[in-house]
Amino acid sequence: MIDLHTHSIFSDGELVPSELARRAVVKGYRVIAITDHADHSNIDFIIPRVAKVCEKISDVCPIKAIPGVEITHVHPDHISSLAREARLLGAKIVVVHGETIVEPVMPGTNLAALRAPVDILAHPGLITEEEAKLAAGNSVFLEISARQGHSLANGHVAALARRFNAKLVLNSDAHSPGDLVDRKMAVMFAKGAGMSEEEIEAMFRNSELLAKEAVER
């Protein structure tokens, strides 16, 4: 399992990164990205610390830990510049907290994220056709979410991704130990979104590709 969207105590997760990684190993993970919530107030605090511990974890544990960030509830006008700042600080996976249907995310967030130098638009909710086309054109991955609430729009996201050839990844968006998902459960979430076996395998390959690119950055 490769999971490119998780949270630790550096935002609203329950676990220190080392325990998060250990529990992921037990779940059968090979790669985990730690992508804590950030805005202008804490991005310079979070990323260097997560990067440091990810290096330590990867050195001695049977899992590759990748430092990342989830830009969260940031005004659309600021997403692109904050994404670039995140890269300079050491984030190898940049996620944007999309317009999930269960939170009051500012309209325009999806569109701004898809125009920014980011990797994943998380739980994009009722993403539009224009946004799906832009995701495909700009090689931003759309997320199929295993998180309660955010997952309610998975079927819509999968359908538009299929129609416009946008690439998908499946992530847990884990905040607590019980949120981590093994591959079997990930397949169930994807099937629940109406994805075929071929589409599911392609989605897992997308995660492999993105993780490889992140490690090489």
Q: Give CA–CA dist 26/163, Å, rounded.
A: 36
**pLDDT value for 217:** 85
**pLDDT value for 138:** 98
User: Mean pLDDT per 10-residue run, the chain (217 residues)?
Assistant: 98 98 98 98 98 98 98 98 98 98 98 98 98 98 97 98 98 98 97 98 98 94
Dihedral sign computed on CA atoms, order 113, 115, 119, 124 = positive
**pLDDT value for 56:** 98
Q: Give CA–CA dist 139/41, Å, rounded.
A: 28
Is the CATH number 3.20.20.140 carried by domain 2-216?
yes
The pTM of this model reads 0.98
Domain spans of the chain, in order of start:
2-216
Q: Which tokens in the block code for residue 68? A: 């990342």
**pLDDT value for 108:** 98
